[in-house]
Amino acid sequence: MKIEGSTALVTGANRGLGLAFARALLEKGAAQVYAAARNPDAVTLKGVVPLKLDVTNEEDVAAAARVAGDVNLLINNAGIARPGAFLADGAVQDAREQFETNFIGPLRMARAFAPVLAKNGGGAIVNVLSVSSWMSGPMLATYGASKSAAWALTNGLRIELAEQGTQIVGLHAGFIDTDLTRDIDAPKSSPEEIVRATLEALERGEGQVLADEISRHVHRGLSADRPVYFQSAAELRSHMGRPAA
């Protein structure tokens, strides 16, 4: 689909990757951009329409679909990350919180906006996933599980919404230089790089974005004799020519 003239809604648009998406959509000629956030007062970007939206709240999602009934591009960006391993203290609660935001949230949004997109010609949904959709590790184990579920959701939506002409795009990337990764010592891409790659792929009609080298490397390794998800993060960094932190 074309960005120019589109009407977009970006969740978690008050900062980080969501803010970069909202800014880029305006720059590329979107007719209107709804910038959704739990606290709409936190949205300071000029030219967007602030929208109150907590993706874990069913009433907020329903209200957003009523207010933004002209949307033909939905970017499911809102997400949270809780560091820790599966066997760490608090892992069950961390998993619940992350699944509620990172999986149930996009599911709610897709269910609410699928009829909106159909009415507006099909449009597109972009789900912000992660290289952690494909591999795990003790640093972001429960987070990765929530993103694996979101990847499954993305693939399922692609099939279920094909008939109404809705393009589904799964965005995979490693660490992005935002507040979410402030305390993580690892190579990071800029939000602007990730957004540029995603919107270019969207306009080319693609269904998957491997937005950086680590996501491309991990994707290639999924079908290796020793699959990449058997490896530790240290092994992965070593294979990519980086020191194991």
CB atoms within 10 A of CB 121: 11
The rounded distance, in Å, linking the Cα atoms of 148 and 243 is 27
How far is the CA of 69 from the CAs of 38, 72, 113, 117, 202, in angstroms?
19, 9, 8, 9, 21
CB atoms within 10 A of CB 149: 18
Q: Which helix (H) or strand (E) holds 151?
A: helix 141-160
Q: Say if CB 40 and CB 3 are below 8 A apart.
A: no
Whether 143 is catalytic is: yes
Q: Annotated catalytic residue: which of 34, 113, 143, 175?
A: 143
Which amino acid appears at position 24 of this protein? A
Residues labelled as active-site residues: 143
